[in-house]
Amino acid sequence: MRKVVKFGGSSLASAEQFRKVGEIIHADQERRFVVPSAPGKRDADDTKVTDMLYACYDLAVEGKEFKEQLKEIKERYQEIINGLSLDISLEEEFKTIGKNFKDKISRDYAASRGEYLNGIIMAAYLGFEFVDAATVIRFDEKGEFDANVTNELMRERLNALDAAVIPGFYGAFADGTVKTFSRGGSDITGSIVARAVKADVYENWTDVSGFLVADPRIIYKPETIETITYKELRELAYMGASVLHEDAIFPVRSEGIPINIRNTNAPEDKGTWIVESTCQKPKYVITGIAGKKGFCSVNIEKDQMNSEIGFGRKVLQVFEDNGISFEHVPSGIDTMTVFVHQDEFMHKEQKVVSGIHRLADPDAIDIEADLALVAVVGRGMKSTRGTAGRIFSALAHANVNVKMIDQGSSELNIIIGVANADFETAIKAIYDIFVLYQL
Ligand code: ASP
């Protein structure tokens, strides 16, 4: 068995946290490939090292003095090195970083040093080989992650090793220029490593005991999800549920490798299993609820729209021409509504309105702002009658007006549009009816 273990920033924020990580790795010989994040927050008021690096590099770009800020970052690492009584020095590394910052090398390079340095410490602490992610994770000329080249490079390198530490979050172009994934991207690195070594499981260690049925900022102590499929997770992650980066499932999905979300501070908890498919029945009809605020609906009316072939294409063409992606397009006989992200749409709204008039010649266009989308996701909904009925009666009882309903034929999710102001009430009403009253 081979396990790839990725540890998030809060799991590596201090020497004390490093020690917990060391115990977890040593407790299981199969945990052989380790992907660390940069040190995260030690407490609520602390700053993540990645954010410190960004801020420090911004000073360098403005031509301002950044020595003090870089020293503070160095101290964060030194504290960990001292706390673990390691016999290593990052002196030379910081000299190089300082020089590269002065030369305004790149913001991605700056941010990547958080993981890079933590990887060096982790490798020394565990006695594992350090593999710089810049040598094994490749981006193409367009800046897109190159899955195939990466898989070859990574496989070749790691197959020759018994155990290794590969820092998360970054890779490089063919010429060695460093590039990062988007924030939280160490989750993606872990998944890439798991694919390359054909791991039996990708363990993603964080500071919660798994994926929650709903956002704990809205629901008091929500239930943990025991097992969730890649597809369900994708729906929930896209709709704002955090824990794992939304792109992290792609590499492991192609190999059917399960992901196990675990808690560094409670390693005995089983966490959440993310799998391709399962015969395990979900505990509740729904697996999870997530959602996002800040949408706009553009409502387009035209008499006899139903018989005008190409009307929908023309409308969507205008959104495409303006570089706006749409979320949902529910339609009636003489109406069509396009849901878009408000912040993407706002400064282009009049261009879009006149563009639709010009291209599709509608009778009227009406824009409604401040809407939220709520996604109710669950593989259990497929075979259960009455799920939609329960959702909408719960919302009606909670006095929430439903503005839009969208259910794909996969029956994996139901998306509901409500006013921003009703967002939390809607989530609570749905959670209560499906989880709380079923407990
Ligand atoms: N350190 C990076 C961030 O803060 C990447 C990660 O932690 O996954 O976004």
Residues 226-239 have a mean pLDDT of 89
What pLDDT, on a 0 to 100 scale, did the predictor assign at position 28? Answer: 97
CA of 189 to the centre of ligand 1 (A): 11
What pLDDT, on a 0 to 100 scale, did the predictor assign at position 38? Answer: 98
- Ligand 1: which of 183, 206, 245 to mutate, most ligand atoms within 8 Å of CB? 183
Q: Which atom of ligand 1 is nearest to the CA of 38?
A: 1
Model confidence at 47: pLDDT above 90 = yes
CA of 282 to the centre of ligand 1 (A): 31
| CA dihedral (65, 67, 73, 76) positive or negative | negative
Residues 216-245 have a mean pLDDT of 89
> What is the C-alpha separation between 323 and 388, in angstroms, rounded?
34
Sheet bearing 31-36, strands edge to edge:
129-130, 164-165, 31-36, 3-7, 201-206, 259-263, 272-275, 227-229
CA of 184 to the centre of ligand 1 (A): 4
What pLDDT, on a 0 to 100 scale, did the predictor assign at position 136? Answer: 98
Pocket of ligand 1 (CB under 6 A): 9, 37-38, 48, 50, 114, 168-169, 183-186
Of 246 and 439, the one with more pLDDT: 246
The answer to whether 164 and 34 are in contact (CB under 8 A) is yes
CA of 75 to the centre of ligand 1 (A): 19
Model confidence at 410: pLDDT above 90 = no
CA of 191 to the centre of ligand 1 (A): 15
Model confidence at 243: pLDDT above 80 = no
Residues 313-338 have a mean pLDDT of 94
What pLDDT, on a 0 to 100 scale, did the predictor assign at position 190? Answer: 98
Provide the CB-side half-sphere exposure for 399 (13 A, CA): 1
Residues 214-228 have a mean pLDDT of 93
Beta-strand relationship, 413-419 and 31-36: unpaired
What pLDDT, on a 0 to 100 scale, did the predictor assign at position 343? Answer: 96
Model confidence at 383: pLDDT above 90 = no
Q: Which atom of ligand 1 is nearest to the CA of 48?
A: 4
The answer to whether 214 and 427 are in contact (CB under 8 A) is yes
CA of 425 to the centre of ligand 1 (A): 32
Model confidence at 341: pLDDT above 90 = yes
Model confidence at 240: pLDDT above 90 = no
pLDDT tier at 10, thresholds 50, 70, 90: very high
Q: What is the pLDDT of residues 347-364, one digit of tens each?
A: 999 999 999 999 999 999
Beta-strand relationship, 3-7 and 201-206: parallel
What pLDDT, on a 0 to 100 scale, did the predictor assign at position 4? Answer: 98
The answer to whether 439 and 258 are in contact (CB under 8 A) is no
Q: Which atom of ligand 1 is nearest to the CA of 51?
A: 4
Q: How far is CA 8 from CA 150, 264, 350, in A?
A: 22, 9, 43
Nearest-CA residue for ligand 1 atom 6 is 184
Lowest-confidence region among 39-43, 127-131, 328-332, 374-378: 328-332
The answer to whether 157 and 131 are in contact (CB under 8 A) is yes
Token pair 């090793």 in the structure block, residue: 161
Residues 102-118 have a mean pLDDT of 97
Residues 34-63 have a mean pLDDT of 97
What pLDDT, on a 0 to 100 scale, did the predictor assign at position 439? Answer: 61
pLDDT tier at 371, thresholds 50, 70, 90: very high
What pLDDT, on a 0 to 100 scale, did the predictor assign at position 384? Answer: 81
CA of 95 to the centre of ligand 1 (A): 23
What pLDDT, on a 0 to 100 scale, did the predictor assign at position 239? Answer: 85
Q: What is the pLDDT of residues 251-280, one digit of tens each?
A: 999 899 999 999 999 999 999 999 998 888
Q: Which atom of ligand 1 is nearest to the CA of 184?
A: 8
The rounded percent of the chain whose pLDDT value lies above 90 is 86
